[in-house]
Amino acid sequence: MARFHGRRYIRAFVSGFFVAVPVTVTFFDRVACIARVDGISMQPSLNPSGKNESDVVLLNRWKMRNYEVQRGDIVSLVSPKNPEQKIIKRVIGLEGDIVKAIGYKTRYVKIPCGHIWVEGDHLKHSFDSNAFGPVSLGLLHAHATHILWPPQRWQKLKQELPSERKTMQNDSK
């Protein structure tokens, strides 16, 4: 009799496993995931100490399904220069905005339809739109919403534009 229960337990475990794995994979692919943020380009918002500590953030993928993004959001996106790499930056300008660039080939850039302008909070140490220009919305991966690690930094990330980075919005919007 014990053998029969053992088989039933194994069968239930295996069938549960084959349900749980696809559900978990789908959740992380479509709804949310976590990511470790390396580097200093988003200081002081992320990795403020600059030491060997990295912040771990919650990424909301669900919000990106309709490219719902606002100025000040911190987003994860595929690097326009290296499709194997994901970068995390702050949205500075939306389509139709005119942005004063810092070091880009033109001083003022009108963001084309279907694009955004992203920058790191630590402008002097960031590889961002000032280097590669407006970014296609299709490269968006997720919206960073919370710092999960280290525990002393647990917090919701603020949607704010740095005071020195203001956009001139298109009056026709």
Residues with a catalytic annotation lie at 41, 89
State how far the Cα of 128 lies from the Cα of 162, in Å rounded to an integer: 15
Pick from 159, 104, 170, 160: which is nearest to 134 by CA? 104
Q: Are 71 and 93 in contact (CB under 8 A)?
A: yes
DSSP three-state, residue 147: strand
Query: How many CA atoms are closer than 13 Å to the CA of 144, on its beta-carbon side?
Result: 28
* Residue 115, beta-bridge partner list: 136
Q: How far is the C-alpha of 143 from the C-alpha of 114, rounded, in Å?
A: 17
Three-state DSSP at 123 gives helix
Q: Taking a C-beta distance cutoff of 8 angstroms, is the pair 89, 73 a contact? A: no
